[in-house]
């Protein structure tokens, strides 16, 4: 395929992904199927003028602090907090027919049916405040039937937050609660005990908080909820609810906030991995790049290996660069063409790539852009300069077999090997300082160029952990 055709295809693929073209068409089609408007075009024009907003459902077993989390999310994100069991009150005040019907049920000592509750939610979540601000819903759905009906009428959450807790913790939290009838304060015998014996003496243990009642509630919840999560699998986020008290609620909030978005996961086609690893000396981008490529079936495109290959194939300039203390610096003019030619080959275009060693500057990044090469994820491997210096300057290699050791973390077992270890020129403190200076100069520009694609990881994490954490760059959601 001619280079010009490849560039056009790359440019089209990048635009489609950045502009979320597939997701746009998918969401519009979904909206049409759900609402079935008489005038589809007019309806779509109205939808396109509307800014997308987060739509969040929070669920969890009894005692999971779902309400507290909803209140905090509402306050932090400006979303309307909707409590499914209380919607009828507002709608009844507005003389809504469904709201009045629900009020009549409540006045008769009955609970509104699930069907009526769904109609109430449809009305509330379609009101101007929820449409313009977004919403966080508590108390619905409670079972698979409600989840399916919720989806069928177009009440589709962009995130479904599920608080996970063990049965033992649920029982402990609820069975330990006591009520002060004078102040209506809720205490917990372990987590928030009463301030003195006088208050403790008048506390009431409600029947609904006794162990047997809590276990029955929990069993009912588990039996009903088992079919709910599969209905929202693509937008579900599990939250660890094991920490009790205010600290636990804050922990839930910290975990939930980064996941709250208006974007919906899509079945739109996603191309092969296009991952760039960047980092300063000691960040081990080369070894991690090789490990990621092996784990996920992508191709490791190493600028250093390409330069070495060119030298072996007779390039005098590449050979001169490889003999220098900093080959990538010495071979700077050769890298762009070598990298772009490798990325254009069919095996890379089919399997995707993990690129290391290039770009090292904004000029390199501009070269990639000019040649129609783009990355989907740029991973910055962060490393403290002092830690980097310890890692690099403590490295030693065995001239007899090329094995790498470290004076602190990986000493050879026998004395004879230890005696012949030497410092590679690239690991000399002077060379390290030059590398670090070059990285610190180029880092701000690269971070700016790839800001939209940037992920940051701690370079001191074990390689296996980093490979697992970066799975999202390689596996379609």
- Whether residue 455 contacts residue 292, with contact meaning beta carbons closer than 8 Å, is answered with no
Nearest-CA neighbor of 163 among 72, 38, 292?
Answer: 72
Query: Both tokens of residue 147?
Result: 């989840």
Domains of the chain: 57-259 (3.40.50.300), 274-383+428-473 (3.40.50.300)
Query: Both tokens of residue 444?
Result: 């701000």
Nearest-CA neighbor of 140 among 228, 11, 25?
Answer: 228
CA distance 274 to 348: 9
Query: Both tokens of residue 442?
Result: 């180029």
- Whether residue 133 contacts residue 85, with contact meaning beta carbons closer than 8 Å, is answered with no
Q: Tell me the pTM.
A: 0.56
The position carrying tokens 């009440």 is 155
Given this model, what pLDDT does residue 288 score?
95
| Alpha helices per DSSP H over 176-261 | 197-202, 211-225, 245-256
Cβ neighbours for 32, distance < 8 A, ≥ 6 positions apart: 40, 43, 44
Q: Collapsing DSSP states into helix, strand and coil, what is residue 379?
A: strand
Alpha-carbon distance values, 104 to 88, 96, 99 (Å): 10, 12, 9
Cβ neighbours for 266, distance < 8 A, ≥ 6 positions apart: 20, 22, 23, 26
- Whether residue 26 contacts residue 265, with contact meaning beta carbons closer than 8 Å, is answered with no
Given this model, what pLDDT does residue 23 score?
64
Digitized pLDDT (tens) for each residue of the chain, 477 residues in all = 445 555 555 566 667 666 667 667 766 776 676 567 888 888 788 777 777 889 999 999 999 999 999 999 999 999 999 999 999 999 999 999 999 999 999 999 998 998 899 999 999 998 889 988 999 999 999 898 899 888 877 788 889 999 999 999 999 999 999 999 999 999 999 989 999 999 999 999 999 999 999 999 999 999 988 888 888 888 899 999 999 988 999 999 999 998 887 766 655 555 689 999 999 988 989 999 999 999 888 999 999 999 999 999 999 999 999 988 788 888 899 999 999 999 989 899 888 999 999 999 999 999 998 888 889 999 999 999 888 888 777 677 677 766 777 766 677 777 777 777 766 666 678 878 888 898 999 999 999 999 989 999 999 999 988 988 888 888 653
Given this model, what pLDDT does residue 477 score?
37
Query: Both tokens of residue 12?
Result: 């089209």
Measure the CA angle with vertex 362, ends 361 and 368; round to 5°.
100
Other Cβ atoms within 10 Å of 391 Cβ, number: 21
- Whether residue 365 contacts residue 444, with contact meaning beta carbons closer than 8 Å, is answered with no
First to last CA, the chain: 30
- Whether residue 383 contacts residue 282, with contact meaning beta carbons closer than 8 Å, is answered with yes
**Number of helices (H) and strands (E), helices first, in the chain?**
24, 14
- Between strands 177-179 and 186-188, the pairing is antiparallel
CA distance 177 to 19: 51
Each residue's pLDDT tens digit, 434-474: 888 989 999 999 999 999 899 999 999 999 889 888 888 88
CA distance 441 to 356: 18
Cβ neighbours for 16, distance < 8 A, ≥ 6 positions apart: 22
Nearest-CA neighbor of 185 among 212, 166, 204, 207?
Answer: 204
Query: Both tokens of residue 425?
Result: 């020129």
- Whether residue 405 contacts residue 397, with contact meaning beta carbons closer than 8 Å, is answered with yes
Query: Both tokens of residue 269?
Result: 């086609």
Query: Both tokens of residue 352?
Result: 């995707």
- Whether residue 8 contacts residue 1, with contact meaning beta carbons closer than 8 Å, is answered with no
Q: Which residues are 137's β-sheet partners?
A: 57, 82
CA distance 333 to 331: 6
CA distance 72 to 253: 7
Sign of the alpha-carbon dihedral angle for 266, 272, 277, 283: positive
Nearest-CA neighbor of 439 among 293, 283, 235, 314?
Answer: 283
Each residue's pLDDT tens digit, 172-220: 999 999 999 999 999 999 989 999 999 999 999 999 999 999 999 999 9
What's the number of CA atoms in the CB half-sphere (13 Å) around residue 157?
32
């Amino acid at each position: 395929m001619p280079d010009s055709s490849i560039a056009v295809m790359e440019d089209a693929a990048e635009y489609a992904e950045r502009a979320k073209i597939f997701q746009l068409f998918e969401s519009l089609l979904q909206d049409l199927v759900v609402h079935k408007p008489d005038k589809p075009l007019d309806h779509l024009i109205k939808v396109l003028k509307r800014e997308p907003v987060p739509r969040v459902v929070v669920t969890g077993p009894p005692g999971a602090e779902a309400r507290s989390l909803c209140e905090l999310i509402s306050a932090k994100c400006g979303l309307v907090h909707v409590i499914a069991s209380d919607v009828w009150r507002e709608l009844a005040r507005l003389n809504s027919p469904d709201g009045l019907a629900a009020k009549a049920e409540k006045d008769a000592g009955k609970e509104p049916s699930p069907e009526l509750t769904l109609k109430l939610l449809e009305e509330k979540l379609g009101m101007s405040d929820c449409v313009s601000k977004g919403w966080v819903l508590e108390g619905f759905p409670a079972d698979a039937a409600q989840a399916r009906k919720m989806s069928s009428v177009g009440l589709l959450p962009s995130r479904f937050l599920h608080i996970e807790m063990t049965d033992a913790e649920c029982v402990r939290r609820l069975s330990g609660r006591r009520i002060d009838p004078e102040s209506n304060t809720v205490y917990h015998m372990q987590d928030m005990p009463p301030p003195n014996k006088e208050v403790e003496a008048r506390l009431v243990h409600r029947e609904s908080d006794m162990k047997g009642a809590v276990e029955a509630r929990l069993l009912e919840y588990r039996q009903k909820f088992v079919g709910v999560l599969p209905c929202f699998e693509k937008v579900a986020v599990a939250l660890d609810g094991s920490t009790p008290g205010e600290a636990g609620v804050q922990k839930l909030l910290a975990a939930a906030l980064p996941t709250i978005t208006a974007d919906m996961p899509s079945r739109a086609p996603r191309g092969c991995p296009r991952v760039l690893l960047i980092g300063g000396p000691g960040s081990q981008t080369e070894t991690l790049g090789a490990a990621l490529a092996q784990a996920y079936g992508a191709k490791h495109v190493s600028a250093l290996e390409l330069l070495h290959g060119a030298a072996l194939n007779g390039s005098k300039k590449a050979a001169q660069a490889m003999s220098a203390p900093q080959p990538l610096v010495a071979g700077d003019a050769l890298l762009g063409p070598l990298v772009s030619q490798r990325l254009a080959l069919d095996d890379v275009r089919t399997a995707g790539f993990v690129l290391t060693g290039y770009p090292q500057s904004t000029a390199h990044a501009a070269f990639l852009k000019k040649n129609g090469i783009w990355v989907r994820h740029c991973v910055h491997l962060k490393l403290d300069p002092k830690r980097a210096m310890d890692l690099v300057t403590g490295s030693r290699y065995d001239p007899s077999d090329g094995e790498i050791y470290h004076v602190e973390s990986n000493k050879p077992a026998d004395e004879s090997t230890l005696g012949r270890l030497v410092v590679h020129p690239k690991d000399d403190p002077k060379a390290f300082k030059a590398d670090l200076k070059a990285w610190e100069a180029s880092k701000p520009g690269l971070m700016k160029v790839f800001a939209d694609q940037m992920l940051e990881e701690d370079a001191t994490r074990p390689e296996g952990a980093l490979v697992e954490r970066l799975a999202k760059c390689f596996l379609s959601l």
